[in-house]
Structure formats: structure tokens, C-alpha cells
Amino acid sequence: MESWTKTDFPHPDAALAEAEGLRWLAAADGGARVAQVRHAGPGVLELERVRDGSRSAEHARTFGAALARTHAAGAPSFGFVPGQATGFMAGAPMPGSDAATWGEFYASARVMPFLRRAEASGAFGARDVEVICAVVERLAAGELDHPQPALVGEVARLHGDLWSGNVLWSPTGVVLIDATAHGGHAETDLAMLDLFGAPHLAEILAGYQEVSPLADGWQDRVALHQLNPLLVHTVLFGGGYAQAAVAAASRYR
């Protein structure tokens, strides 16, 4: 089988972390298909080459069901990263966490670190920071906690960067690449699919719900779960992502 080699990493250990994450996702029984890791070393990751295929509604629905099983495979804790390497996000080591709840984890390890980086770059004014910090306070207090999908226990096994560009459509179905795998809330992966317009999103969600129904009110929490990726993109690219992050946060303050 053909392979391709990725060398564009912010740190040599990021290649090892991504490889461990892909293997962890692939270990989920009946879960979403993940590009096979052929070799991993510092700064180098060799994966199977995924051939292009049609973006069919049938494949989308099958992928949704498989993703539900990946999430249900679980993780030991919020913020858990598989393997020995540190996870990476937005070009920097991923913040660890010993949080007991999702809200505490999301506030301390996914919102605040990237808010502070974006603020330091000048992307946010004082009023913007105030809005997002108000949401952080509610998250940390547990006011915005909500149940996982039906088959997930306390913590879901997440891809962690599930935007449409990391969802490859092969002739036999969807294959995932470029994971930032960790333990978190399943709705985060689904919100990321929504944020950047995954093809056949309605079918993906339908397949997911057939296997593991989402908790009531999930539609109203999509923007909450998009707050982290919007902050990450503010750090990386600036522009309109900063105001999109503030608009998302405003719904929950």
C-alpha cells in the first residue's frame, strides 16, 4: 500500500503525539476508521495514503455511527493524552488537566490558555476578555456542564481536531487524519464538524444519534463547544475569528 510522510510539525514530539493519538482512536471497537500509522519518529510521521472517493450520504451516515462508537470507547480523564508524548494544540504543548468535571477542564485547559495567548497578541480588547471570562466562571462553577451522549461514560475519546479537512472521503468510506486526540466531551468533535461545514453533516448526525443519542439541548450548546477552536484559530490566524469567539461566548455569559 502507498504511504505519505508528514514533516510539518511545530515540535519533533508532536509527530509522536499525533501517532499515539491515531493509534488510540483506531483501537476503539467498531469506531471511525483512522489512517494507519506506518512509522513515527521525532518530527516525522508516515501514514497510509488515502485515495479520494465520493462524498456520499451513505458514507456520512456510516461515519456518524462509527464516530459514536469511538467516543463511547472513552478515556481515563478529561484532558488525558495517550502515549508518552505531550499533546500539542495551536503549535504549543497541550495544557494538561486534573479537572474532575468537563466544565472545569474546558475552562482551565481549553478556553483560558488560548484566551490569554490571543489577548497578548492584541486580538481582544478588555470588553471582549470580560465576556469570555464570564463564561469561564460559569464553566468552572459547573453551571454549563451537561450529559455525554447515551453510550459515553464520564469522558469521551475525542479526535480533537475534527474539522472537515481532517475527514477524508475514500472509495470505501470516511478516514480520519491529523488527530489531537484526548479525553473530553463528545459534543466538541461534533461542534467542530459543524464549524467548518462538513459535507452531509445532517447524515453524520443522524448516524450518530442512531447509535448514541445526544443529550437534550445539544443544538443550543454547539457554539459553546466551538469556543475553543475559535480561540485557537484566533491565536493562529487572527482576523474575524476573534469576534466569532466573542459572539459564541456571548450566548453563555
Pairing of strands 37-41, 44-48: antiparallel
Q: Determine the Cα–Cα distance for residues 95 and 25; give it in Å rounded to an integer.
A: 20
The whole-number mean pLDDT for each consecutive block of 10 residues of the chain, a chain of 253 residues, reads 86 90 97 96 93 93 98 96 79 76 96 94 95 98 98 97 96 95 97 95 98 98 98 91 97 95
Q: Determine the Cα–Cα distance for residues 118 and 231; give it in Å rounded to an integer.
A: 7
Collapsing DSSP to helix, strand or coil, 135 comes out as helix
Helix residue ranges per DSSP H, the chain? 12-26, 57-72, 102-105, 112-120, 126-140, 186-195, 201-211, 222-237, 241-250
Q: How many CB atoms lie within 10 A of CB 190?
A: 26
Collapsing DSSP to helix, strand or coil, 180 comes out as coil
The DSSP code for 176 is: E
Q: Determine the Cα–Cα distance for residues 193 and 34; give it in Å rounded to an integer.
A: 16
Q: Determine the Cα–Cα distance for residues 23 and 30; give it in Å rounded to an integer.
A: 14
Are 156 and 212 a contacting pair, CB within 8 Å? no
Q: Annotate 83-129 with DSSP letters as a single string.
A: SSSPPEETTEEPP----SSHHHHIIIIIIHHHHHHHHHTT---HHHH
Residue 124 cell numbers, joined: 481582544
Q: Evaluate the CA torsion angle 111, 132, 252, 98 in order and state its sign.
A: positive
Q: Model-level pTM?
A: 0.94
Q: Determine the Cα–Cα distance for residues 158 and 236; give it in Å rounded to an integer.
A: 22
Q: Determine the Cα–Cα distance for residues 219 and 235; give it in Å rounded to an integer.
A: 26
The DSSP code for 46 is: E
Structural domains present in the chain: 52-250 (3.90.1200.10)
Q: How many CB atoms lie within 10 A of CB 49?
A: 13
First to last CA, the chain: 51
